[in-house]
Amino acid sequence: MGVKSVIEKHKRIMIDTAPIIYFIEEHKDFGKITDELFKLIRDNPDYHAFSSVITLIEVLAQPLKSLREDIVGKYRNFLLHSSNFTLYSIDPIITEKAAELRAQYGIKIPDAIQLAAGIENNGTLFITNDKDLKKIEEIEIIVLENYL
3-state secondary structure labels for all residues of 25-78: CCCCCCHHHHHHHHHHHHHCCCCEEEEEHHHHHHHHHHHHHCCCHHHHHHHHHH
Has this prediction a pTM greater than 0.85?
A: yes
* Nearest-angstrom CA–CA distance, 65 and 69: 10
In the chain, where are the structural domains located? 3-147
- The CATH superfamily assigned to 3-147 is 5'-nuclease (3.40.50.1010)
pLDDT digits 0-9 by tens, 18-57: 999 999 998 999 988 999 888 888 888 889 999 999 999 9
